Amino acid sequence: MISKATIENVFEAARVEEVIGDFVQLKRSGSNLKGLSPFVDEKSPSFMVSPVKQIWKDFSSGKGGNVVTFLMEHEHFSYPEAVKYLAKKYNIEVEETVQTNEDLAVANEKESMYLVSEFANNFMHNTLLNTEEGKAIGLTYFKERGFTSDTIKKFSLGYSPDSWDAFTKEALGKGYKLQYLEKTGLTIVKEDKQFDRFKGRVMFPIQSMSGRVLGFGGRILTSDKKAAKYVNSPESEIYHKSKVLYGIYHAKQAIAKLDNCFLVEGYTDVVQFYQAGIENVVASSGTALTPDQIRLVSRLTKNITVLFDGDAAGLRASIRGIDLILEAGMNVRVCTFPDGEDPDSFAKKTPLNELTAYLENNAKDFIQFKASLLMKEANNDPIKKADLIRDMVVSISKIPDRIRREIYLQECSRIMDISEDVLFNTLAQLDKKDLSEANKKFKEEQKAFEIVRNENQAQQSKIDIQDELERKIIEIILLYGNVSEEFEDVLLKANEEGELIEVKEMNTYKVYQRIFLSLQEDEIELANPLFRAIYTDLINYFNQQETFEIEQYLMQLPPEIEQEVASILMHEEREVLHNWESQQILVKQKETTIAQYTTETILTLRWYWVNKIIEELKLSLTQEVKEDNSETLSMVMDYLGLTNVFSKRLGRVMSRYS
């Protein structure tokens, strides 16, 4: 268990905007920061971070919370793992009890697989640096590639002993279970034996954006033609090769800072570039580029430069990934190296200033690159040239932005010496086909949606009204609970003639006290069970604590309540996302009229409940046959009088909720 003091130190040091900034490209939006959701694919930002409140909210997925919750949601950390990650980031010593074999046994499957992978990484890195075999074979290989000791340590490169089960025996001896060694692919289990998958290979650990070891790539050093040159970890619960990029952990900050990402193919390309001084580089690890990998980069930048080696034979297949990048709405440039060179070899022998200049001078816009590449294949053959032009238009059709599409068509027209009208007509045909397919899919989805909507519409409209009012009550307590304000009290007092009259007095209350007293006076209980639990917890918290800090309060909440609290706190940030002011729609700032806003919300909730009672009484009049309904009618009139009082105090005529 991690000590309470450590957790408090971590929360005090950690800044939500700094931590999330490692994973999502954030831009200033008033007092907040906004960016694209890291949980869903989107084009417009719906992800908000509040440095003041130290919370975040993703309006697309509904997720939200504090800095620890983000790591748990995004990186699938357990609570202790998230705290340890932050402690490491902010150089805080973690006080905890030693983890026993029993602790390992009760860890869930994913956590156990992460632990096994981390152990394997440490074992192989230590084997490389501190054993005779590791130094003689693995370390010699890396040194021959030109990797320095700092680079080897930075990327935690390793070596797996050339023995059938050296790693497996070590892991089992340390208490790690065979089932997790097998599930991570580190150990291959047969009926009568088990052996190491990466036997006799140099190792490249594949890390997530947060630095967690997900899997490995192993390169063989012998000339055995029957063995694969590279072997990767198999797909598992923690490793999905289509969703990870090698080097993203080390490159993320440089990518965001320089607003560009270099994309290469191999592990050594990444390591060599990084060592040369170009840190914003990642690799697809030998697999075809996927939408998930592109989405990973898009959280950090909208610009990708794809680097190809001088082998023209592989270029035709490789450039298919460019269409995926364009489809994601990103800007893509392409740079090739001289014949016989690849990013690894070129970076190894080229000084940083020359390497940077080469990349800058030789990176072409995708349309220019594709044209120059495919024109060589066409070789003045009109049929091949026509296919080439159609191929380029297909690529352009993938671009979501219409202005950019038109500019690229004009550029294509100039390069290929063909009229713009022909290109636009070709594009229109492609768009029409895509639109027809999309419309068909939309109608199918809409039909299914209509069935569900018709079933829930009546009930949902009523729930939403009540939820919105109760949500506002919670929001006010969270934002202003400890603020002292002057509130108007309406009292009944006897005048000189002994008549009871209304007298208005101004009294000072803390906002949470005013809300509590008002709801108690009317015996109102929040209907939403989750809101009711939050309300009760908040009132108790305010009564026990002299001060109220959002960060401290969130720390002690269970995850499901913490997420809802964060959602309520960030509810008002929707106004920022919609940018109402640019549309000349002024949004009232609650901070300037806290007492008025609180009073209006309480009165509106009271009116809602009174109206609900009136409707129930009216229903009883129609359902029950009584000789004398005067008492019920009198109650209805009294309650209607109350609604008039509420309207008068609110200063507006209120329509009925029904």
Which 3-state string (H, E, C) describes 130-193? HCHHHHHHHHHHHHHCCCCHHHHHHCCCEECCCCCCHHHHHHHHCCCCHHHHHHCCCEEECCCC
Checking if the pLDDT of 399 tops 90, the result is: no
Confidence of residue 611 (pLDDT cuts 50, 70, 90): confident
Instruction: Please state, in angstroms and as integers, the Cα–Cα distance from residue 658 to each residue in 191, 472, 497, following that order.
Output: 68, 20, 43
Confidence of residue 122 (pLDDT cuts 50, 70, 90): very high
Indicate the fold that domain 108-239 takes in CATH: DNA primase DNAg catalytic core, N-terminal domain (3.90.980)
Confidence of residue 443 (pLDDT cuts 50, 70, 90): low
Helix axis angle, 267-276 relative to 248-258, nearest 10°? 50
**248-431 has CATH 3.40.50.300 classification:** no
- Would you state the pLDDT for residue 124? 97
Confidence of residue 333 (pLDDT cuts 50, 70, 90): very high
pTM for this prediction: 0.66
The single residue listed with the structure tokens 């991690």 is 2
Checking if the pLDDT of 622 tops 90, the result is: no
User: Among candidates 318, 345, 347, 311, which has minimal Cα distance to 334?
Assistant: 318
Q: According to CATH, what is the number of the domain 4-89?
A: 3.90.580.10
Identity of the amino acid at 346: F
- In the chain, pLDDT over 90 holds for what percent of residues? 30
- Would you state the pLDDT for residue 462? 46
Q: Report which of residues 65 and 378 the model is more confident about.
A: 65
- Would you state the pLDDT for residue 646? 61
Q: What is the DSSP string of 355-381?
A: HHHHHHHH-EEHHHHHHHHHHHHHTT-
Confidence of residue 315 (pLDDT cuts 50, 70, 90): low
DSSP state of 435: H
- Would you state the pLDDT for residue 639? 64
Mean pLDDT computed over 315-319: 63
Instruction: Please state, in angstroms and as integers, the Cα–Cα distance from residue 208 to each residue in 243, 252, 293, 381, 491, following that order.
Output: 9, 11, 12, 47, 63
Checking if the pLDDT of 449 tops 80, the result is: no
Tokens, residue 252? 């993320």
Number of alpha carbons in the 13 Å side-chain half-sphere of residue 195: 12
List the helix and strand counts (H, then E) for the chain: 29, 18
Query: In a 10 Å sphere around its CB, with 0-12 CB exposed, 13-18 middle and 19+ buried, how is residue 579 labelled?
Result: exposed
| Residue-wise pLDDT tens digits, 217-226 | 999 998 777 7
The single residue listed with the structure tokens 């993320």 is 252
Confidence of residue 466 (pLDDT cuts 50, 70, 90): confident
- Would you state the pLDDT for residue 581? 43
| Residue-wise pLDDT tens digits, 129-186 | 999 999 999 999 999 999 999 999 999 999 999 999 999 999 999 999 999 999 999 9
User: Among candidates 232, 287, 234, 281, which has minimal Cα distance to 260?
Assistant: 281
User: Among candidates 267, 256, 351, 338, which has minimal Cα distance to 298?
Assistant: 256
- Would you state the pLDDT for residue 209? 86
| Residue-wise pLDDT tens digits, 83-98 | 989 998 999 998 876 6
- Would you state the pLDDT for residue 245? 95
Checking if the pLDDT of 231 tops 80, the result is: yes
- In the chain, pLDDT over 70 holds for what percent of residues? 80
Average pLDDT for the chain: 82
Checking if the pLDDT of 654 tops 70, the result is: no
Checking if the pLDDT of 7 tops 80, the result is: yes
- Would you state the pLDDT for residue 600? 84
Please, which residues have CB within 8 angstroms of residue 315's CB and are 6 or more apart in sequence?
A: 308, 336, 373
| Residue-wise pLDDT tens digits, 521-580 | 766 778 888 888 888 888 888 888 878 888 778 877 877 788 788 888 877 665 445 444
CA distance 528 to 463: 9
Number of alpha carbons in the 13 Å side-chain half-sphere of residue 618: 10
